[in-house]
Amino acid sequence: MTFRRLAIAAAALLAAIVVTGAAVRLTSSGLGCPDWPQCTRTSLVAPASYHALVEFINRVVTTLVGIFVAAVAVAALLRSPRRRDLALLAWSLVAGFLGQAVIGGLSVIYHLSPPWVMAHFLLSMVLLWAALVLVHRSDPDWAPTEPMAPRELVLLVRLLVGVAGAVLFLGTVTTGTGPHAGSGGHVRRLGFPLERVTQLHADSALLLTGLIIATIFAVRLTATSTVVRRRSNWLAVAVLVQVAIGYTQYFLNLPSGVVELHVAGATVLWGSTIWLQLGFTAPLASEVSGGTGPLPRPQKAATGS
């Protein structure tokens, strides 16, 4: 259980760093520490100024994330019995964290150029996905199985994950076009019409909302587990809150505080979508209710050792 607790802590920190990173951008502190890996050319720590401290605190939190990610990777090698799938997932987090450090440094070097900032955020979402899979598989009762749900429902949720990823990407395009550049100085923005990319992002979010509604109905009309039903409820709440925040920030002309909530909501929504998909093979998925009654839990031969 110690390994799973470490995995949960790493996943929580990987989600939290997205929010603290957004706070850096929304307070125009992205270049508060103008150098990397030091804050300035002459000092590792931040000078006594607001923007420098905001950026430096985010770097400290990033270091904390790195410590937990490294701990999970080492624990994956030391746990008994050792499992190849857990080790690969844990070390993928290490690789992703190092990639984030490089991209973060390039973002500073290139003065918060939108493509680098977009890559920074999107890699964070990939890392969160890997961390949630690691948490899922580290459950002591987990075993490789076929998804315990009708094939149509499984495909619908896979589509849901794909559309959620597209919404995240379009959200980064909107952010790269919008006014919150991350620094008080001039930062080059993407050359798209803000109103049009915002509308495209909103349309994709409405498509995602429609798919989530369809998924909720499908979950209740088919034989599936209580785990999937419960996680679909969490997803429904997440998308409703996120849609409300999204329209609020649009009509209030993108106030930084509401945009911060929108980033946090996007992180929760992405995590909830992934967590729902993982629910099809969750250990408690044998508790089936509704539909045509309990489904047999098919087993696969375990891979890895």
Token reading at 238 = 């997440």
18-39: pLDDT as tens digits? 888 888 877 777 677 777 677 7
CA distance 175 to 86: 35
Q: Give pLDDT, residue 207.
A: 93
CA distance 162 to 91: 24
> What does the angle CA 70 – CA 72 – CA 78 come to, to the nearest 5 degrees?
105
pTM of the predicted protein model:
0.84
CATH fold label, 141-299? Four Helix Bundle (Hemerythrin (Met), subunit A) (1.20.120)
Token reading at 37 = 């890996």
Q: Per-residue confidence at 224, pLDDT binned at 50, 70, 90?
A: confident
Dihedral over Cα of 88, 89, 91, 92: its sign: positive
Domain parsing of the chain, residue ranges: 1-137, 141-299
172-223: pLDDT as tens digits? 888 777 665 445 455 566 777 778 888 898 899 889 999 999 999 999 988 8
